[in-house]
């Protein structure tokens, strides 16, 4: 039987690494929280967005990070749902001029929680 409190702590740690990887532009840290076959999709300003993990990491590598641009860190976990060895996290990721919300699907693989799918959208407030 899984310990849901321990799983929540482990998932929170993965999400904090995800946020920090985005904020400082650390593609190795980001790579460590994603499954290699992860897929990213959603919309940005109403336009469809589809990327493999490698395409996403290439984009992060080739841009200035929010940290380099002097942005304030404002990313947060809104919720985490866990069922057995799967989980979904809803996060708020305000970076650059975007107000992103991500739905991250995670799986417990070989004893580690990893992000297997990222759905994202930009919300005008």
Dihedral angle at the C-alpha atoms of 89, 94, 95, 96, nearest 10 degrees? 150
Establish how many alpha carbons lie within 13 A of residue 108's alpha carbon, considering only the half-sphere containing its beta carbon: 15
Instruction: For residue 8, give Cα distances in angstroms to 5, 50, 89, 120.
Output: 5, 28, 10, 22
Strands 112-122 and 34-44: parallel
The DSSP symbol for 28 reads: H
pLDDT at residue 2 is higher than 80: no
Task: Convert the pLDDT of each residue in 66-114 to its tens digit.
Answer: 999 999 999 999 999 999 999 999 999 999 888 999 999 999 999 999 9
Residues 91, 77 contacting (CB under 8 angstroms):
yes
Q: For residue range 41-62, list pLDDT tens digits in order.
A: 999 988 999 999 999 999 999 9
The pLDDT of residue 1 is above 80: no
């Amino acid at each position: 039987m899984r310990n849901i409190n321990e799983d929540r702590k482990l998932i929170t740690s993965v999400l904090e690494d995800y946020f920090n990887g985005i904020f400082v532009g650390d593609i190795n840290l980001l790579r460590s929280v994603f499954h290699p076959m992860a897929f990213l999709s959603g919309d940005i300003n109403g336009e469809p967005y589809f990327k493999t993990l490698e395409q996403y990491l290439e984009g992060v590598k080739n841009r200035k990070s929010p940290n380099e641009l002097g942005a304030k860190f404002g990313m947060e976990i809104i919720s985490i749902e866990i069922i057995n060895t799967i989980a979904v996290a809803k996060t708020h990721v305000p970076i650059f001029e975007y107000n992103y919300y991500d739905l991250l699907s995670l799986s417990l693989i070989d004893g580690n929680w990893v992000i297997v799918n990222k759905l994202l959208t930009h919300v005008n407030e």
